[in-house]
Amino acid sequence: MIKGDMRKAALLKTAEELFFTRGYAATTINDILENQHCSKGSFYHHFESKLDVLTALCRADAERAYERYARDAAETEDPLDKLNLLLSASFPVQEAEKNLCALLMQLIATPEGEQVLSVLFGELRLRFFDDFCALTDELARQERAFLPIPGIPTLVFGAYQTECRQMLKIGADMAQGKDVPPQEAADSLRAIRYLMERTMDLPFGTIHVADAARADSLLRACAAHARSVQKELPTAPAVGDHRQMSMLQ
């Protein structure tokens, strides 16, 4: 790894730790710089803003998720097993990525949060969608799935990602102190399974994304942490006050 890449990786690691321990809104670019003992010039060589750091963390998360999938998928030849591994790896509520999950729960209701989620799910789609299509095509070729029209994999993967967003929204509601019954996580996972099995005519019970109880437990743990570090955004500055008051700073 060259020096510039090492500096970028170190800034990302520090930012993730600070965002997680202090909260995204409470962490400034200066906090990251002071921790790394580097200049603003060095920071802005790699990132345009604090939000750019966060979106870079989402890209790194998606890359790690795909690496986990590729490693595990190499251990089996069965396309249905690989499909389940793909769904599990691309599911955003992961023990391996719980820091980012907790961070997203702080931001999901903000304009910045919507942008970050768009980046995350766009990156996940970029890495996983072609494999998803290849696996569903292979299942259809083996007559283990039925794809009556070409657009079904696109429809199904898009709906799957929508349910994944819903899972993060459930966690965000928990972080806001709302009373969310455990059944909500289970229902969201059941919807994913039902959608895929019915739409592609897969045998009942063959799709598995995550254990519902474990997903609910992880959501609650991430939400509790998000709630513990969440800060109120500063009020808007008065007219003529040019101080930066955004979460982006």
Residues 93-142 have pLDDT tens digits of 989 888 899 999 988 878 888 899 999 999 999 999 999 999 999 999 99
How far is C-alpha 214 from the chain's CA centre? 17
Given a cut of 80, is residue 2 above it in pLDDT?
Answer: no
Q: How confident is the model at residue 242 (pLDDT cuts 50, 70, 90)?
A: very low
Percent of the chain with pLDDT over 90: 67
pLDDT reported for residue 6:
84
CB 200 within 8 A of CB 139: yes
In this prediction the pTM is 0.87
pLDDT in tens, 179-232: 999 899 999 999 999 999 999 999 999 999 999 999 999 999 999 999 888 754
Closest CA to 215 of 124, 94, 101: 94
Say which residue the tokens 């474990």 belong to: 214
Chain segment 72-83, per-residue pLDDT in tens: 999 999 999 999
In this prediction, residue 165 carries a pLDDT of 94
